Chains A and B, each alone.
Chain A
């Protein structure tokens, strides 16, 4: 009996007081629930403000959840690119012109429009031109429509053609002959219709003598379209 009383007295001494409440802990007593709720709500507000701060890139944390966050206008300052671009362009053109003056560009290739077709040519190429051409074997021709000129380090693109005083492509007629015999056979089966024809077309073979640059880039003459004209 005495043991029981001592135990009971010891049990009665133990009290669950609100001071020892932990914010995340679960407590059985009813009186302490108010404290828990308060702590929880304040903590939730703190978390919310931290998250909003991170989103708005704010320095520091505002723990007062009632204050509204205002977004500052975001501006981007663009530098004037025109002068930079001009400088780079001039640098590139001088580099190309240096190569042209020193003749250090190497082998040049060109895209010429000749006899209805575009052909990519370089020195020493043979090109076949189908059809009758008013040239004779041994004539030297200049290809006037040059669309593109390229080297290892630079390309000159015509819009659509390059200037004739800038580029020169010359070719010699090497051979003029007829193609192999082509059969043109028409047949309508079971209708007693059959025709056979043979065809040989004229062609010329041209040897490209040279593809070269004659002027400097970005240096146009005062009067254009006068070269080669007879007045």
Chain B
């Protein structure tokens, strides 16, 4: 038997079934023809995969926005504001980030209240032009020149 003739044969064409199955497994939850028709499904799948990649960055951005909203809400409940808290804390060299501040605002309200009071007392000593005083002067914060 002539083997070289066999070796010169081109590889058989791959079965489309498996290529399309890979796509259909990912589009199983789509609606209508997007679920079962390959040429329609592939378009929507490509878009979905691109959104997965974009969403990883947006998730971080959305989380930061959410934390900021929650901190602001917690501050306003106590008569302060987000800007006052953050700027007061920066001046006192307290380096807590938005994630932990939001966590404390929800789960450790006393700690959060003390933070707002410290920031407000600091801003009372070193006022910032343009930052309005929402609340009356805080009681119970003793600075002794340390703030």
Contact = CB atoms under 8 A, between A and B. Distances in A.
Interface string A177-188: 000001111110
A110 B144 CA distance: 26
A184 B99 CA distance: 27
Chief secondary structure at chain A's binding surface: strand
Contacts of B97: 118
Interface in B86-118: 92-97, 99-100, 103-104, 107-108, 110-111, 114-115, 118
Contact of B114 (A89, A119, A155, A183): A155
A150 B95 contact: no
A183 B49 contact: yes
Contacts of A86: 144
A82 interface: yes
Contact of B103 (A85, A120, A183, A186): A120
A34 interface: no
A88 B104 contact: no
A169 interface: no
A185 B114 CA distance: 47
Interface magnitude class on chain B: 20 to 34
A59 B21 CA distance: 99
A120 B95 contact: no
Contacts of B104: 120
A133 to B, nearest CB: 20
Given A89-B142, A160-B93, A184 B100 contact: no
B19 interface: no
Interface residues of A, number: 28
Q: Which of B56, B142, B143 has the most CB of A within 10 A?
A: B142
Chief secondary structure at chain B's binding surface: helix
B6 to A, nearest CB: 34
A173 interface: no
A39 to B, nearest CB: 51
B52 interface: yes
A88 B142 contact: yes
Q: Which of B107, B110, B143 has the most CB of A within 10 A?
A: B110
A145 to B, nearest CB: 10
B99 A159 contact: no
Q: 9 closest A-B pairs (Cβ-Cβ)?
A: A185-B49, A160-B95, A85-B142, A159-B93, A155-B111, A118-B100, A187-B46, A118-B97, A150-B111
16 contacts: A85-B142, A88-B142, A117-B99, A118-B96, A119-B100, A120-B100, A147-B100, A148-B96, A148-B100, A155-B108, A159-B94, A184-B53, A185-B46, A185-B49, A186-B50, A186-B53
Interface of A: 82, 85-86, 88-89, 109, 111, 117-120, 147-148, 150, 155, 157-160, 182-187, 189, 194, 196
